[in-house]
Structure 1
Amino acid sequence: MSTPATDKLRTAAPAASASHPKGRLSRTRVRAAWLFLLPMLVVLLLVAGWPLLRTIWFSFTDASFSTLHEAHFIGLENYLNYDEGEWYGVLADPQWWGAVRNTLFFTLVSVSLELVLGMVFALVLNAQFPGRALVRAAVLIPWAIPTIVSAKMWSWMLHDQFGILNHLLISLGILDTPLAWTANSSLSLWAVVMVDVWKTTPFMALLILAALQMLPSDCYEAARVDGIHPVRVFFRVTLPLITPALLVAVTFRVLDALRVFDVIYVLTSNSADTMSMSVFARQQLVEFQEVGYGSAASTLLFLFIALLTLAWLYLGRKRLQGDL
């Protein structure tokens, strides 16, 4: 039965718990954390936030490099505009949509191959064998090479006349004539994917290997005693336990692949067959000097990556919680 005295005690209870020493300690830690994070947040705002806001603003103007300080607000014309019976703007540009298709294809294929190969390499490197430390160091070499250097190195090896890859394939009898790996429209995007997989598979393998080494050994000892097949152990024990690490690794790689620029530009320059969204934005900004149009493309790229990342993180959280 409720009485005025008990109601007073109930309303006073939260205040008493808030003034508890543990509550004060928690608030002190939160304030200290924000104080430590504040310099980093200010620097991040200046380094990333201001250029992003400036790019978004330019996307609503007719700015060019020659009239950068005399730009006029034109609304959404750089994105989509209907004039005299025709649509104009980035969203009506077939080259932009070609770049979107190339970027999505590159992301899907390269990240999928890197996930599978990275898993295989991580499982091999997690096993005990002589010289394992040396093999681990050797596997990381492609990832340690700067992307520009590795892309230029592969452009020489993929050369249609002087490249060593064509020479080896012809010597083995696999090819009759050399192939133009980076100039052929049906091979160029696959060549870019191959170079990216060679470059970043060690990164995926390293993250998966770190997750494998954190797994408890008693589960595997029990499975070995019960005589469970290793394939079943992998799918029933190993894979569910390393799923959070896989989600983190795939998220990093998807973000990196969606904004790919350097490896594509070095290997194929501005070729429409391999042009990514970043290469398209760079072409509009630098070569055509259309700051407004290029800023619109860059803003769309940012929004596309941000929305896809939020959706991926949401689905990943639901998957871990067992709702999917």
Structure 2
Amino acid sequence: MSTVRETRTESTERHEAKHRPDAKKKTPRSARSRAEGRLGWMLAGPAFGIMLLVTLYPIGQALFDSLFSLRLTAPDERSFVLFENYRVVLGDPAFWQSMGVTLFITVVTVVLELLFGFLLALVMHRAIKKLRGLARTAILVPYGIITVVAAFAWFYAFDINSGGYVNNWLSWVPGFDTELNWFAEQGTSLVVIIFSEVWKTTPFISLLLLSGLAQVPGDLEEAAKVDGATGWEVMRRVILPNMKAAIMVAVLFRTLEAFRIFDNIYIMTGGANDTEALSLLAYNTSIGRLEIGLGSAISVLLFLSVLIIAAIFIKGFKVDLATGRNS
């Protein structure tokens, strides 16, 4: 009898230990899982290696050049200065002005794109099946246009010196000045730059969010409606929590891309009227002033900023991207 009790006690202890929160679950990988892993590396490995080489070389070169005082007009006067270039850059008000402009554009564009992209994703998700393909194709048109071409189109639409037609379209608005020069001041210039960014990249956000909407279990929505939940409650308690991984990927990708904005600002204002972003500042320093050392330091600081933003997002959202579930 005591043996039976001891056996039951040991079995109970093993069961409790197995289900403890701090117990480490070690599930051995099957042969099929290992084979799939090897196949995945074989298929993605070459592309990953090429991308790594193409990415690491310019980063390493920029980091190396940032440690030297180097001007293209005097290449023989190259001298090792260690972190002096970083001290000069961080002490320059122009750098912090560009940082502020970059952060402002990034925050506003990502928020607007997330809102409009989610609305478009809902429309495409709930559209009639026969029209889904047409809707998805039509919405991708802006995203398919080359950024430089789109930037020129927006510039000529708003520039009154080039026959811009937007002012004529807005002539019916009470108090609107049809002679308004959009690119003469910082505020109006940033409005056009942000609108062009939102128009161009909202389709990208909407497609990512559409994939997240497709992963929301329909039975959970129906169960919530049966329980008397309102549309907003279903959205807040069912749809959004199950889309957390898709939202995180969309916001992360767009934030990193928006933080490196260059084309629209370069074409529309060239950085005039305090609209210079970090990428344009690095370009103007390296190519315009031929200060390779200082320009490389700005590029490295921009790269570090992108890494910090990515780490903050991944840590803040607490999402396991491998499984698409909340941690």
CA deviation vs aligned residue, 1:12-42 (integer Å, no higher than 9, x gap): xxxxxxxxx9677766666665555553344
CA RMSD across the alignment: 2.4
Instruction: Output aligned runs, 1:67-146, within 5 Å.
Output: 67-68=74-75, 71-80=78-87, 89-129=88-128, 131-146=131-146
Partner residue in 1 for 2:10: none
Instruction: Quote the offset at 1:154 in angstroms.
Output: 0.4
Tell me if structure 2 keeps the 8 A contact 1:170–1:178.
Answer: no
Partner residue in 1 for 2:202: 201
Partner residue in 2 for 1:270: 271
Tell me if structure 2 keeps the 8 A contact 1:189–1:273.
Answer: no
Tell me if structure 1 keeps the 8 A contact 2:117–2:202.
Answer: yes
Shift of the 115–48 alpha-carbon distance from structure 1 to 2, 3 Å rule, reads same
Instruction: Quote the offset at 1:221 in angstroms.
Output: 2.2
Residue 108 of structure 1 aligns to which amino acid in structure 2? V
Identify which range, 134-143 or 48-57, moves more after superposition.
134-143
- State percent identity of aligned pairs: 36
Q: Does 1:64 align with 2:71?
A: yes
Shift of the 307–163 alpha-carbon distance from structure 1 to 2, 3 Å rule, reads same
Q: Does 1:40 align with 2:47?
A: yes
Residue 208 of structure 1 aligns to which amino acid in structure 2? L
Q: TM-score, normalising length from structure 1?
A: 0.83
Residue 216 of structure 1 aligns to which amino acid in structure 2? P
Shift of the 116–170 alpha-carbon distance from structure 1 to 2, 3 Å rule, reads same
Tell me if structure 1 keeps the 8 A contact 2:185–2:273.
Answer: no
Residue 138 of structure 2 aligns to which amino acid in structure 1? A
Aligned residues: 294
Is the partner of 2:180 in helix, strand or coil? coil
CA distance in structure 2 between the partners assigned to 1:146 and 1:197 by the alignment? 14
Instruction: Output aligned runs, 1:215-254, within 5 Å.
Output: 215-254=216-255
CA distance in structure 2 between the partners assigned to 1:30 and 1:71 by the alignment? 48
Task: For structure 1, list consecutive stretches of 5 or more residues without a partner in the other structure.
Answer: 1-20, 81-88
CA distance in structure 1 between the partners assigned to 2:41 and 2:124 by the alignment? 40
CA distance in structure 1 between the partners assigned to 2:140 and 2:175 by the alignment? 29
Tell me if structure 1 keeps the 8 A contact 2:124–2:136.
Answer: yes
Instruction: Quote the offset at 1:76 in angstroms.
Output: 1.3
CA distance in structure 2 between the partners assigned to 1:94 and 1:271 by the alignment? 15
CA deviation vs aligned residue, 1:65-108 (integer Å, no higher than 9, x gap): 2344762211111111xxxxxxxx10111111100000000001
CA distance in structure 1 between the partners assigned to 2:291 and 2:131 by the alignment? 55
Instruction: Quote the offset at 1:196 in angstroms.
Output: 0.5
Q: TM-score, normalising length from structure 2?
A: 0.82
Residue 305 of structure 1 aligns to which amino acid in structure 2? V
CA distance in structure 2 between the partners assigned to 1:271 and 1:229 by the alignment? 49
Is the partner of 2:303 in helix, strand or coil? helix
Shift of the 177–40 alpha-carbon distance from structure 1 to 2, 3 Å rule, reads closer
Tell me if structure 1 keeps the 8 A contact 2:271–2:277.
Answer: no
Tell me if structure 1 keeps the 8 A contact 2:286–2:295.
Answer: yes
